[in-house]
Amino acid sequence: MTAQATRTAFVGATLIDGTGALPVADTAVVVGDGRITWVGARADLEHAPDLRIVDTGGKYMIPGLLDANVHLLIHVDPDVLLRYAPGCYDELVLEAAQIALRAGVTTVFDTWGPLESLRRVRDRINAGQAIGSRVFCAGNIIGNGGPYSADFFPNLGAGLSSSVVEAINRHWEQGVGAALTWMPAADVRVAVREYIATSDIDFVKYASSSHAHSRFLALSPDSQRAIVEEAHAAGMTVQACTQSPEALKAAIDAGVDLLQHGDVTGLHPMPEETLDRIVERRLPCVAFLYTQRHTTAFLERKPQWHGNDAWGEVMMVKDLNDRKLVKAGAMLLLGNDMGVYGPTAETSPMWGPFQSGIPDVPTHLGRSHIFWLRAAIERDMAPMDALLATTSNIAQAYGRLDELGTVEPGKRADLLILDADPLADPDNYARIAHVVKDGELVDRDRLPEHPVLTR
Amino acid sequence: MTAQATRTAFVGATLIDGTGALPVADTAVVVGDGRITWVGARADLEHAPDLRIVDTGGKYMIPGLLDANVHLLIHVDPDVLLRYAPGCYDELVLEAAQIALRAGVTTVFDTWGPLESLRRVRDRINAGQAIGSRVFCAGNIIGNGGPYSADFFPNLGAGLSSSVVEAINRHWEQGVGAALTWMPAADVRVAVREYIATSDIDFVKYASSSHAHSRFLALSPDSQRAIVEEAHAAGMTVQACTQSPEALKAAIDAGVDLLQHGDVTGLHPMPEETLDRIVERRLPCVAFLYTQRHTTAFLERKPQWHGNDAWGEVMMVKDLNDRKLVKAGAMLLLGNDMGVYGPTAETSPMWGPFQSGIPDVPTHLGRSHIFWLRAAIERDMAPMDALLATTSNIAQAYGRLDELGTVEPGKRADLLILDADPLADPDNYARIAHVVKDGELVDRDRLPEHPVLTR
Amino acid sequence: MTAQATRTAFVGATLIDGTGALPVADTAVVVGDGRITWVGARADLEHAPDLRIVDTGGKYMIPGLLDANVHLLIHVDPDVLLRYAPGCYDELVLEAAQIALRAGVTTVFDTWGPLESLRRVRDRINAGQAIGSRVFCAGNIIGNGGPYSADFFPNLGAGLSSSVVEAINRHWEQGVGAALTWMPAADVRVAVREYIATSDIDFVKYASSSHAHSRFLALSPDSQRAIVEEAHAAGMTVQACTQSPEALKAAIDAGVDLLQHGDVTGLHPMPEETLDRIVERRLPCVAFLYTQRHTTAFLERKPQWHGNDAWGEVMMVKDLNDRKLVKAGAMLLLGNDMGVYGPTAETSPMWGPFQSGIPDVPTHLGRSHIFWLRAAIERDMAPMDALLATTSNIAQAYGRLDELGTVEPGKRADLLILDADPLADPDNYARIAHVVKDGELVDRDRLPEHPVLTR
Amino acid sequence: MTAQATRTAFVGATLIDGTGALPVADTAVVVGDGRITWVGARADLEHAPDLRIVDTGGKYMIPGLLDANVHLLIHVDPDVLLRYAPGCYDELVLEAAQIALRAGVTTVFDTWGPLESLRRVRDRINAGQAIGSRVFCAGNIIGNGGPYSADFFPNLGAGLSSSVVEAINRHWEQGVGAALTWMPAADVRVAVREYIATSDIDFVKYASSSHAHSRFLALSPDSQRAIVEEAHAAGMTVQACTQSPEALKAAIDAGVDLLQHGDVTGLHPMPEETLDRIVERRLPCVAFLYTQRHTTAFLERKPQWHGNDAWGEVMMVKDLNDRKLVKAGAMLLLGNDMGVYGPTAETSPMWGPFQSGIPDVPTHLGRSHIFWLRAAIERDMAPMDALLATTSNIAQAYGRLDELGTVEPGKRADLLILDADPLADPDNYARIAHVVKDGELVDRDRLPEHPVLTR
């Protein structure tokens, strides 16, 4: 994983560079020192003795994929977490980062997780001490409690000692948990400033909607504005978790840079006025797209979410919003709470109803992005737009377009080389010839190196 | 119950007229046609043949009491409600109105209840067809569901058919229930306008805080402003239920006329800035004052409220706020969710923990206002201020000071005549000589005429 | 409703007399003073001036049906019971007795219910003061608690005050409730003796299996023997509720006269040895027969019963037992916990999953006996045996064959006259021409006279 | 840990040999090859060069203690068990065995636990490969499920995947779990025979009472007799878990050798007749003795056990039985479900209410036997009888008196040498000078060698 001394040329592929430009056949891309140094026609490539040639003739090259909403540790059931001392989940996080990388997702944005493990794994990968997707992380969703708190999955912690529950939750909460929802906005500002200053996070996420009781606002518009100002003052992008029309509007009013599942608006469709604002401002919006066959199976099952037995209706409203957003040309991003689940998730009181015996489960890191892409096509998104939703749109939304998201000189050399045209069929994103990260060919067969959940 | 043809003079009492003026000994008050027609020194009273004289020498006359926050039907357990067809609770409502009147509370503001029964009883009392306290009602708390919904007491309805639960909840919700929390503010406005136009309510109440999950905002600031505007456009006062600092601030910002239990701010004390605004604007604030011995016993019991096991801490924060509000001279109002409970409340899963075996229960209509007054004195409220908190402050807050709240010519002749000085000891409010409503002496021994819960 | 002074002859029907004899065409049956006085060939009927003739030519006459296991009050949800003072459910019981009678079920054995109402209705019917099926009742199942106790439907009482729950349960328990399961057998004997002596019941029923935790024995074999001895000493039949192989064996060993749902043996099929004893001793056994289409729909639904998620498997084992019992020629009796349900049962947390949207619900009094008969035929019971299972078998099992169960001189004149042959098709039991009880034609259109649940 | 080549003499102690004989001063006890080889007066001791002398002058020697009812792994909360692969709990079991040994409890009878770990640790200790108390184990309580089953602590497993729950339960159930309660007695016999033949257990325990629903019989008297016969045929002692009068009687009738907590008879005191049988037959009975101050604190707390809110009453009945058993001279044994708990037990939903902030917790292995002894004295047991209850009575009950339980030549050399007279004060059992097991001085300071729960 040390930087390459020599340069490598990927020669012959049809390039879809992620800028929205049309595909170009017979290209060559040169990488060196982890970056793209040259992009051009194959015919124009200057050969040199130290230039390693990788033949990609007949293949398709696109930017390494990004995922705007993952949770590298999401299978937070006791049988997983209690194997470790609280907070020491590095091997689970790394496993997930490697599963993502194997699938060509070279960059992930972790939007809720155990910060200490996330940071350690992120830093080891960045330092070349470990292999895996490039990780950016938010730590906690400001205003929410940890995994076994009332905001998330209290039923999973129902049989645990309260001291154990608290020790675990603390690793997610990081001092900006549910207590902030009780605070006046001025106190929220102070707490968030402290968090940003000390936590070594990459971006900020907060709860506009209550997570479990999603028709309520978790943080007031004043508190939201304070958070956005603090994030921006620190040079970070900031995003909000929204689940209702008013929470969505509050987040937009507060000035967020990214709407996390802005397509989920509960029992009421997104107002036209809000839709217009999202489109006109090109406000990046992660959409929770599900394939039609998943949606159908899901609705038959009448699942509950946090005891909400109208969840099916929420999903139908979401789908209506998705179709409108696509049609209006909103700037949508791939993301679906993807993470890695072990086999016990099949019978988990939390995950079983959502994952067991149902097709196209949208939340499996390394697989479900294909379902997302298919769902996008089903909803009439243009194939090129779907590609942008998984590449440059995300880089732009997170303020990383100078480094990531397209195949252009000067960018990080993250490339996904496919055996078939991804614009022809979303399944072709899974027909991987090579994954290149930081200019190096990934040995996909080795990943994950130390499988735990996927053993 | 028809209007008196003749006039009556109450002669000899020390008058504390509710304006804040000092007590005046040896007064006479003349009433006729339901109104106070003359107030003056006993010596100045002009006798006339048709003037009936009631000797109140040695007694104390104050305005009939008002209660700013009652629920005439609050014992909503299935064993009570299921005796009746859904919505047909008139006899329970009337019983409560009579119990209030018997105790000298001549006017009550019902802030959440089954609207149809409330209106019928209100109108019958106003028309002289029934005896009872004067009732003003809000119907639903806009944004909240009915008694067995997730917003209130779902555990009480846990064993009931969902069709029964829905039929009952509907009588509280009146079309402005939980669905409004999903709506964009513009739609909230439309729904509330319709409700005000068609419901024949007396004032408007809405949920700033979520009722059960009180750290969250139930309605966004935008929705709140829309509600306040609609209420004011219809000439009604509007109040908000708040339980956290940000919900309290949102309500004040929205322009409400009354803060319903503004002293309850959850786990975080009221910010000084908010306190200042309440004091400076003389914004009426119902305070949930509990006596010290109740508070002590309550905290020992570690009660839960809606599963919130930090409820004791919430009560301690409330008490802290109460002391600050009193000290700062805020305009406080009597109110404590008072209502009538039958004997089964003692073993109710909902009420038992709050009422069984604990002193000075603050929620018993007809009794608990004495505890409120005592609690006010314990918190260093001046006795005269306590009296105003139960009379003219409330009338003013509800925009009824032209008719109610003081003993002045032209006002409704609602009088409470006591055997001992209420400024000397709060218990003296219970030493009742006479209750006069609309100029008529109330035959207190007859009340309630048809006891149901208090049989 | 007084006894007829005159005699009536039913002339011309094909008689299936309930003795097991083959059908006889062209018969005449004479009834007077509530009894059958003569049975013979139509040709042999002696006409007399006072003999009223009812032409039943082309019709089929069978004994009035009996049901060996009903609960005249089974819809014990709070929305039903709380309309009444505890124990005052006479109108519900009478409604059910009339619904049974309307359907040709002229005698019912109530095996668990609120004794005081049952007795009052029974006695009023027997005295000719009310119309309805003839009722015999057991009161409580000795050893079980009331409807909201842990033995039955605690979830229905979950939202009720404990004092309300206790007041209601007491009307079922009658002093022989769950406390007896704690007692030594000698104390059980004393309690049961007292119960039999003072309760004015018609027969005795006790819990061999725990009702809710059906793999356990509720009463020890010693206690069971004591109960059987006391019942027999008092001249009563005694039956046991059994749900497992060992509970079934214990009941047989104890000497019971009737096995209540002896076909239900939990997760383990009935041992051959037990089956042989039932068959050889001709031990009457109520079987819970369900039609095939009900069984199929039921199993797909994966219902739970008392939290037992293996309930589907229990039902499959039951069906296996049923087929073996039929094949072996066991003495089976009609019975299926039939009772009357109002419309709110459709959405009841208790009954909804068992009754909503599922065909051939086996527990509806007045309808479900047809499903039972159809299920019997589906399981290869001979049509004549099915008829006996609903008539003379039951009379014999309850020691009432001298009075009930066949069309023979001297018996109570309870007759069911059908438009079509019941041996040809079970549905023909529902094609009712006349119901005769105690010699009188029942005006079926009037029934139930005062519908409550079936309004 | 290899056997000593030489002999050791403990010289000078007052010997209370566990036979019931009076204390003898100035004794000497010689041990060699793990056994007691000579017991006599100090003066009679023959010295030899290879005889190591341990001066025990001024001290008191008693047999190593036995505990008739421990669970070496009882803290079965997820935070403990999920650290390990299912069934691999050896280090927890060994820790507990060492904690027992450190406290002078040289032999323990584990009456419910994960068999495979128990056996491995037992065998390692017996082989001298590990140090710890001598372990005898029953494996499962026949008829009961595992720790997260409905029979024990389903609330602890409420948040776990069902596959995880099943994998764990299986290690306790060992094929003789709850399924046996459904079986006819003949099938129970077959299953138990197989279990005894293949499981390498030391004694047999079965459920006469249901564990969670203790007023019911889990296994019928016929099944119980089958189990007893099978155990005796295999040369094993057999015991029953009983919690009600009839379950106790059933166990005695079945011929068990030991009554496990026979003093617990639920809501009904032990019948005199049963008491007489226990006394007359000298049937060994583990009694759950609690100190008075524990009992008082416990009753104030109104704890529930398996949702049984009459648990306090059960404990009062138990105490009544205990006093009668002591007075009647029943053969009582020390035992109290003792095991080792880690710090998270303080806040466990299961254990917290029973252990947090309450004195003299009766279930802590290594400490609580002192409380048991004090409770025995409080209930007027003679000090010498208390000593027998913890030594020879237990050895006899388990058929091990030839090897264990007294200080006599030929026995295993398990000795407890105290600094003060145990007959003078139960606390003196904790004033340990030396623990000797198999003739070797235990290095108590080293124990437990690898603390996990007690770290």
pLDDT band at C306; cut points 50, 70, 90: low
How far apart (Å, rounded) are the C-alpha atoms in residues C182 and C159? 27
Asked if C77 lies within 8 A of B343 by C-beta distance, the reply is no
User: Which chain C residues are Cβ-neighbours of D222 within 8 angstroms?
Assistant: 246, 249
- Contact present, C and A (at least 3 Cβ pairs less than 8 Å): no
Q: Which CATH number fits domain B65-397: 3.40.50.920, 2.10.109.10, 3.20.20.140, 3.30.1300.10?
A: 3.20.20.140
How far apart (Å, rounded) are the C-alpha atoms in residues A16 and A416? 10
Highest mean pLDDT among A45-54, B305-314, D306-315: A45-54
What is the pLDDT at residue C117? 98
Q: pLDDT (tens digit, 9 = 90+) per residue, C262-300?
A: 999 999 999 999 999 999 999 999 999 999 999 999 888
What is the pLDDT at residue B307? 66
How far apart (Å, rounded) are the C-alpha atoms in residues D176 and D197? 13
Average pLDDT of span B432-447: 98
SS3 state of residue D32: strand
How far apart (Å, rounded) are the C-alpha atoms in residues D38 and D56? 16
Residue D177: which of D197, D155, D158, D205 has the closest Cα? D205
The continuous run of DSSP H or E covering B180 comes out as helix B179-182
Asked if B345 lies within 8 A of C161 by C-beta distance, the reply is yes
Average pLDDT of span A240-261: 98
How far apart (Å, rounded) are the C-alpha atoms in residues A94 and D142? 45
User: Which chain D residues are Cβ-neighbours of A344 within 8 angstroms?
Assistant: 161, 163-164
**Residue of higher predicted confidence among A296 and C4:** A296
How far apart (Å, rounded) are the C-alpha atoms in residues A377 and A385? 9
Asked if C220 lies within 8 A of D178 by C-beta distance, the reply is no
What is the pLDDT at residue D4? 45
What is the pLDDT at residue C300? 85
A160: nearest CB among D79, D163, D343: D79
How far apart (Å, rounded) are the C-alpha atoms in residues A113 and A126? 18
pLDDT beyond 70 at A97: yes
Contact B363, B337 (CB under 8 A): yes
pLDDT beyond 50 at C380: yes
What is the pLDDT at residue B300? 85
pLDDT beyond 70 at A5: no
pLDDT beyond 50 at C357: yes
Quickly name the fold that domain A7-63+406-446 has. Urease, subunit C; domain 1 (2.30.40)
Lowest mean pLDDT of A168-177, B301-310, D49-58, D351-360, name the range.
B301-310
The pLDDT mean for chain B works out to: 96
Q: pLDDT (tens digit, 9 = 90+) per residue, C85-114?
A: 999 999 999 999 999 999 999 999 999 999
Average pLDDT of span A182-187: 98
What is the pLDDT at residue D2? 44
A215: nearest CB among B182, B186, B250: B182
Chains that touch A (3 or more CB pairs under 8 A): B, D
| Side-chain-facing half-sphere of A319: CA atoms under 13 Å | 18
- Contact present, B and C (at least 3 Cβ pairs less than 8 Å): yes
B409-413 CB contacts, 8 Å cutoff, 24+ apart: B409/B35, B409/B36, B409/B37, B409/B38, B409/B39, B410/B35, B410/B36, B411/B35, B411/B36, B412/B34, B412/B35, B412/B36, B412/B134, B412/B438, B413/B31, B413/B32, B413/B34, B413/B35, B413/B36, B413/B437, B413/B438, B413/B439
Q: pLDDT (tens digit, 9 = 90+) per residue, D162-209?
A: 999 999 999 999 999 999 999 999 999 999 999 999 999 999 999 999
SS3 state of residue C340: coil
Name the residue ranges covered by the structural domains of chain D: 7-63+405-446, 65-397
What is the pLDDT at residue B1? 39
Contact D176, D188 (CB under 8 A): no
C159: nearest CB among B159, B346, B347: B159
Contact C183, C107 (CB under 8 A): no
Contacts of C297 (CB under 8 A, 6+ apart): C358, C359
Asked if B159 lies within 8 A of C157 by C-beta distance, the reply is yes
Contact A277, A252 (CB under 8 A): yes
What is the pLDDT at residue C6? 80
Q: Does D274 touch chain C (CB under 8 A)?
A: yes
Chains that touch C (3 or more CB pairs under 8 A): B, D
Q: Which amino acid is at B150?
A: A
Q: pLDDT (tens digit, 9 = 90+) per residue, A222-248?
A: 999 999 999 999 999 999 999 999 999
Q: Which amino acid is at A259?
A: L
Which residue's structure tokens are 């709407």? A259
CB contact residues (below 8 A), chain B span 106-135, against chain C: none
User: Which chain C residues are Cβ-neighbours of D183 within 8 angstroms?
Assistant: 245-246, 268
pLDDT beyond 80 at A413: yes
SS3 state of residue D226: helix
Contact A152, A165 (CB under 8 A): no
Q: pLDDT (tens digit, 9 = 90+) per residue, B143-180?
A: 999 999 999 999 999 999 999 999 999 999 999 999 99
DSSP state of D386: H
Antiparallel, parallel or unpaired: β B7-11 and A432-437: unpaired
Kindly report the backbone phi and psi dihedral angles of residue B246, in degrees, each rounded to the nearest multiple of 5, phi listed first: -75, -35
What is the pLDDT at residue B299? 87
Which residue in A149, A187, A190, A217 has the most chain B C-beta atoms within 10 A of its own C-beta, making it the best mutation to test that interface? A217
Asked if B159 lies within 8 A of C161 by C-beta distance, the reply is no
Q: pLDDT (tens digit, 9 = 90+) per residue, D66-100?
A: 999 999 999 999 999 999 999 999 999 999 999 99
Q: Does the N-terminal peptide bond of residue B362 adopt cis geometry, omega within 30 degrees of 0? A: no
pLDDT band at A2; cut points 50, 70, 90: very low
Structure tokens at D86: 């299912």
Q: Does C175 touch chain D (CB under 8 A)?
A: no
User: Which chain A residues are Cβ-neighbours of B273 within 8 angstroms?
Assistant: 184
The pLDDT mean for chain A works out to: 96
Q: pLDDT (tens digit, 9 = 90+) per residue, D405-448?
A: 999 999 999 999 999 999 999 999 999 999 999 999 999 999 99
Structure tokens at D355: 């252990």
Q: pLDDT (tens digit, 9 = 90+) per residue, A185-215?
A: 999 999 999 999 999 999 999 999 999 999 9
Structure tokens at C209: 């299996």
Axis crossing angle, helix C292-301 with helix C311-328, rounded to the nearest 10: 160
Which residue's structure tokens are 């009563």? C236
How far apart (Å, rounded) are the C-alpha atoms in residues D31 and D24? 18
Quickly name the fold that domain D7-63+405-446 has. Urease, subunit C; domain 1 (2.30.40)
Which residue in A208, A214, A220 has the most chain B C-beta atoms within 10 A of its own C-beta, making it the best mutation to test that interface? A220
Question: Which residues sit opposite C41 in a β-bridge?
Answer: C27
- Return the percentage of chain D with pLDDT > 70, whole number: 98
Axis crossing angle, helix D272-280 with helix D311-328, rounded to the nearest 10: 50
User: Which chain C residues are Cβ-neighbours of D154 within 8 angstroms?
Assistant: none
Axis crossing angle, helix A221-233 with helix B245-254, rounded to the nearest 10: 110
Q: Does C83 touch chain B (CB under 8 A)?
A: yes
pLDDT band at A307; cut points 50, 70, 90: low
Asked if A216 lies within 8 A of B218 by C-beta distance, the reply is yes
ipTM of predicted complex: 0.95
Average pLDDT of span B80-91: 96
Asked if B182 lies within 8 A of A245 by C-beta distance, the reply is yes
User: Which chain B residues are Cβ-neighbours of A217 within 8 angstroms?
Assistant: 216-217, 220
Asked if C163 lies within 8 A of B344 by C-beta distance, the reply is yes
Which residue's structure tokens are 């009894």? C35
How far apart (Å, rounded) are the C-alpha atoms in residues A51 and A40? 15
Asked if B78 lies within 8 A of C163 by C-beta distance, the reply is no
Q: pLDDT (tens digit, 9 = 90+) per residue, B28-63?
A: 999 999 999 999 999 999 988 889 999 999 999 999
Average pLDDT of span D213-230: 97
User: Which chain C residues are Cβ-neighbours of B348 within 8 angstroms?
Assistant: 160-161
Å from C374 to nearest chain D CA?
30
pLDDT beyond 80 at B277: yes
SS3 state of residue A142: strand
Asked if C161 lies within 8 A of B82 by C-beta distance, the reply is no
pLDDT band at C72; cut points 50, 70, 90: very high
CB contact residues (below 8 A), chain B span 191-220, against chain A: 210, 213, 215-220
pLDDT beyond 50 at C3: no
pLDDT beyond 90 at D233: yes
User: Which chain A residues are Cβ-neighbours of D157 within 8 angstroms?
Assistant: 159
Q: Does B53 touch chain A (CB under 8 A)?
A: no
Asked if A159 lies within 8 A of D164 by C-beta distance, the reply is no
DSSP state of A196: H
Q: Does C162 touch chain D (CB under 8 A)?
A: no
pLDDT band at A1; cut points 50, 70, 90: very low
State how far the alpha carbon of B44 is from the alpha carbons of B8, B10, B250, C410, D61, in Å: 15, 13, 52, 98, 103
User: Which chain B residues are Cβ-neighbours of A246 within 8 angstroms?
Assistant: 183-185, 219-220, 222-223
- Return the percentage of chain B with pLDDT > 90, whole number: 94
Q: pLDDT (tens digit, 9 = 90+) per residue, D357-395?
A: 999 999 999 999 999 999 999 999 999 999 999 999 999
pLDDT beyond 50 at B2: no
Structure tokens at A177: 């948990």
